[in-house]
């Protein structure tokens, strides 16, 4: 007949196994929701996905980021490629903490407007990719 294992060995193992099942996973960290970090994410996404990728929907335009805003509203502008001093065709700006986003301009009324809104929301929330 074999000797029974010591209670001193079984109890800690059983307790550890029980506690391991009750622990929750650490949630993924949320991105900083203030206006400037939010607009930095949006600017990086827009630059990579709309302009650097050669997307035909944005071929006639260029990005003009204005993130250093003393008004507390960092923003990005989309302007005509050959006329950057002209009126912006798209303005995306954020204000406050958590950031309140706003996108407006003639491009929002174009077929690409829905895509712009979807992309901006995704990048603002910390999403990556195009």
pLDDT tens-digit series, residues 114-123: 999 999 999 9
Residue 40 is given by DSSP the state H
Extended strands (E) in 27-69: 61-66
The percentage of the chain sitting over the pLDDT mark of 90, rounded to a whole number, equals 65
State the pLDDT at residue 11. 46
Spatial separation of the C-alpha atoms in residues 84 and 36, rounded to whole Å: 23
39 neighbors 93 (Cβ within 8 angstroms): yes
Indicate if the pLDDT at residue 1 is higher than 60: no
pLDDT tens-digit series, residues 26-69: 666 677 889 999 999 999 999 999 999 999 999 999 999 999 97
Spatial separation of the C-alpha atoms in residues 103 and 120, rounded to whole Å: 9
Q: Cis before residue 56, ω within 30 degrees of 0?
A: no
Which residue has better confidence, 102 or 12? 102
Residues 6+ apart with CB under 8 A from 84: 62, 64
């Amino acid at each position: 007949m074999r000797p029974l294992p010591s209670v001193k060995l079984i109890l800690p193992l059983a307790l550890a196994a029980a506690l391991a099942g009750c622990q929750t996973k650490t949630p993924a960290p949320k991105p900083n929701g203030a206006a400037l970090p939010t607009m930095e994410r949006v600017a990086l996404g827009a630059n990579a996905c709309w302009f650097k990728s050669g997307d035909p929907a944005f071929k006639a335009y260029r990005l003009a980021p204005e993130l250093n805003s003393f008004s507390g509203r960092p923003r990005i502008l989309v302007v005509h490629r050959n006329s950057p001093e002209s009126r912006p065709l798209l303005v995306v700006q954020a204000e406050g903490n958590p950031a309140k986003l706003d996108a407006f301009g003639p491009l929002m009324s174009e077929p690409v407007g829905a895509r712009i809104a979807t992309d901006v929301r995704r990048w603002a929330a910390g999403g990556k990719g195009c």
